[in-house]
Amino acid sequence: MILDNKLKNKEIIVLDGATGSEIERLGATMNSSAWCGVANKTHPDIVRQVHEEYIRAGADVVTANTFSTSRHILASAGLADETVSINARAVELAREAVNNVSPERPIAVAGSMSNMRAWIPGTVSPDPRFLPTPEEESNNYQEVAQTLAESGVDLILMEMMTDIDRSSMAISAAVETGLPVWIGNSCTLRDDGSASVWNPHSEEPQRLSPDHIKSEDKSYETLIEAMLSFQPQVMGVMHSTIETTNAGLQTLFEHWQGPVMAYPETSSEVKNGISDQVEPAIFAEHCHEWVENGVQIIGGCCGTTIEHIRAMVDELQDVIGIRR
């Protein structure tokens, strides 16, 4: 595929940054329950602009805006019947961006898949009105995966895998397409410095509904071991803080011998009443350190702006060369 030679030759691959939060930052209205999933329909020009700016910044991979476009999520926005068209439009917008900015440079389009559920408005807790049955959920993942494949993505990027059962259901659908599958796991930093599976009660307690069921504390190793059975092309740590990514990568390198990716979140964190935003230069320094330690695919997640990726590419010019 388009990135096979880079992977084989252990060249550094530049991922884009956040898609959803950057679409919002540039002016698109987010849906209270389906987040950025409807932007392909309501704000296509902004979605395309985000992809274009990441390409100009030097990205080798742009991620289609399909993180929250499963049928059970779009149902919360009254758009279940447009699931296929909204996913296909997302890939089309990414392809348009590649053709508009850099048709001569080999840039991959990744189709994003998650096991996100529709939110109760004002929270990030699942809305019981739109919870699918296991059979429906499996069918919905297959629908997204097949639509992404038929729309022409180069790979499927499994994002924010935080459990075994539902993540496995979604990954199975992606694997069935025959496309390369990259798995992005998310983790939480325990008090003892080890990594656990991403826990919303630790990460986003202020955004949960009062009756949100508390997640069981599971080791990060358990999740990695489960993901190995799918034989992904790439495995990595994503949507985790800078500090947590360090711990997650250490664990991942102990269990996974293939190409490793890292794309942390840089969103503001509030600790003891103090808001801390990771600045582009600091983000870039951490990315350079991870690359020096063996990470091959590098980018950013929620809160990572186009400026963060520009800074990262500048910081990595000694290993990736000039991109713009």
Q: Where are the alpha helices (DSSP H) in 152-279?
A: 165-175, 200-203, 220-228, 242-255
Has residue 270 got a pLDDT over 50? no
DSSP H/E element including 42 = helix 39-42
Nearest CA to 236 out of 306, 308, 298 is that of 298
Q: Residue 65 pLDDT more than 90?
A: yes
- Band (272; pLDDT cuts 50, 70, 90): very low
Query: How much is the pLDDT for 321?
Result: 75
Strand partners, 263: 238
Residue 267: pLDDT band with limits 50, 70, 90: confident
CA dihedral 160, 166, 167, 169 (to 10 degrees): -140
247 has a pLDDT exceeding 60? yes
Q: How far apart are CA 102 and CA 97, in angstroms?
A: 8
Tell me if 196 sits within 8 A of 190, measured CB to CB. yes
Average pLDDT (86-92) is 98
| Of 298, 300, 280, the residue nearest 289 (C-alpha) | 298
Note the pTM of the prediction, 2 decimals. 0.95
Torsion of Cα atoms, 251 then 256 then 262 then 264, to 10°:
-40
Q: Into how many domains does the chain fold? A: 1
For residue 118, what are the domain limits?
A: 4-320
pLDDT at 22: 96
Report yes or no: 214 and 202 within 8 Å, Cβ to Cβ: no
CATH number for the domain that contains residue 187: 3.20.20.330
pLDDT digits (tens, 9 = 90+) for 138-149: 999 999 999 999
Q: Which amino acid is at 299?
A: G
What is the C-alpha separation between 181 and 183, in angstroms, rounded? 6
Q: Evaluate if residue 232 carries a pLDDT over 90.
A: yes
Question: How many CB atoms are closer than 10 A to CB 292?
Answer: 10
Task: Report the SS3 class of residue 156.
Answer: strand
Query: Which of the four pLDDT bands, split at 50, 70 and 90, describes residue 275?
Result: very low
Does residue 269 register a pLDDT over 60? Answer: no
Give residue 7's pLDDT. 96
In tens, the pLDDT along 172-212 reads 999 999 999 999 999 999 999 999 999 999 998 999 999 99
Instruction: State the amino acid at position 154 in one-letter form.
Output: D
